[in-house]
Amino acid sequence: MADIQERQKSTGKKGLRRPKRRLGIRIDMTPMVDIAFLLLIFYMVTTIFAAPQAMEINLPPKTENDSTPPIKVKKSNLLNVWVEKSGDFYYQIGSELRTKSDMSIPWKIPADSLRDLFTKYNWDRPKLSTLFIIHPEAKYSKMVDLLDETEVVEALLRNNQEYVKAYIAQNPEEKTFSFRYALRKWEDRDDKLFAKVLGLSAGGM
């Protein structure tokens, strides 16, 4: 022991120190990966994705010989609904008058009153048919609004047993209520009609 101390004094250096050994650290990522995939699968299974919105429209079957005679509808059972170029809605049915001098002038109706209009006339007239006439420059969303309202009214009336019984009594060929409507192309006569309508509106009618 004395020799070692004397040597250190003579050389002026301390004894050699061995470097500390670093411990190797290894993290096992397998459990974390398992949890991540379990969470991913959980959210994929439980998440409700937005379903594509589509409208179901029943079209008549195609026939090789389109010679089916047109179905006659009484004027009192035909509800005409126009969508003017500006997007305003108008309606006219049967011989209801807007003015005493001209029974062919349609009434303007707010968009939020369409449901009440369809419900009222379908309730009063179980044989009612509705005709939509939409201006080619009107927004497409206006037609979507009309079809949405028909679906709502159809569901409301179909769930009303009193109305369904009255409807089937007058339409024995049908088993339940169906909102009957059709689309007609905007024609020159509609331009002339609404030139008169807008003229009357501008004149304070």
Residues 61-114 pLDDT 10s: 666 665 666 667 788 888 999 999 989 999 998 755 454 445 567 889 999 999
Range of the domain at 133: 75-199
Separation between Cα atoms, residue 121 and residue 79, nearest integer Å: 8
157 or 98, greater pLDDT? 157
Separation between Cα atoms, residue 135 and residue 82, nearest integer Å: 8
Cα three-residue angle 14-17-21, rounded to 5 degrees: 165
Residue 91 lies in a domain: yes
Residue 121 lies in a domain: yes
Residue 35 lies in a domain: no
Separation between Cα atoms, residue 59 and residue 16, nearest integer Å: 97
Residue 148 lies in a domain: yes
- Residue 82's pLDDT is 94
Looking at the structure of the chain, the number of domains it has is 1
Q: Note if the pTM is more than 0.85.
A: no
- The first and second tokens of residue 125, run together, are 């007239």
pLDDT band for position 20 (50/70/90)? confident
Residue 60 lies in a domain: no
- The first and second tokens of residue 108, run together, are 């303007």
Separation between Cα atoms, residue 167 and residue 19, nearest integer Å: 98
